[in-house]
Amino acid sequence: MIAVIDYGAGNLQSVVKAFHYIGCEVKVTADKEELKEASAAILPGVGAFGDSMRCLNQSGMVQPALDFIESGKPFLGICLGLHLLFEGSEEDPGISGLGVLKGQICRIPEKDQLKIPHIGWNSLNIRKPEGIFQNLEANPYVYFVHSYYLHAEDRDVVSATTEYGVEIDAAVQKGNLFATQFHPEKSGRTGLKMLKNFVSLIDRN
């Protein structure tokens, strides 16, 4: 069973529907014991960094999520779920993220008449054609909705980048931990392939 962590600030239904579409059992849960027993976990998210961290803390799911990542089982953060894995964000200075990975979440610069938030399809420069990016076409297009972006301190964890006025770290990978700035569940057949790749990692644990 794949657990979708419910902390009151996630785009849960689109994620659930995407996994159901590829034939996978998922369960939305805010129960730490259910999370512990899951074979993989998803941390989705929409909205503001600070509000989401407050919700995550109030839900009591911070330590269970950290323990799950430490367990070595596959873990996927999506959109704001990627942001929360890092140390902090310019969106809400002074509020700490989970700090699993080092880096900051920065505001997309307003230049070149680019619209903020960034909404739409962009191609990826895949740096690690493995994990969720295994057997994908070159430079696949995926769907983004965001005003803030990751700049990871450890460049070795960056698995894909894109360009939108600035180079954006669009995905990260470290061991069993994966996270994407874009929405694989809204990225058509390419995104569904990524989710299938994620599910395939379960069997390797």
Question: Is 24 an active-site residue?
Answer: no
- Residues 6+ away with beta carbon under 8 Å from 135: 193, 197
Out of 79, 91, 118, 146, the active site residue is 79
Question: Is 118 an active-site residue?
Answer: no
Alpha helices in 5-162 (DSSP H): 12-21, 32-37, 49-59, 62-71, 80-84
Distances, alpha carbon 51 to alpha carbons 2, 41, 71, 73, 79, in Å: 25, 21, 27, 27, 15
Question: Is 79 an active-site residue?
Answer: yes
Q: Please list the residues that pair with 151 across neighbouring strands.
A: 104
Cis peptide leading into residue 117 (ω within 30°): yes
Q: Mapping DSSP to helix (H, G, I), strand (E, B) and coil, where does residue 146 land? A: strand
Which residues are annotated as catalytic?
A: 79, 183, 185
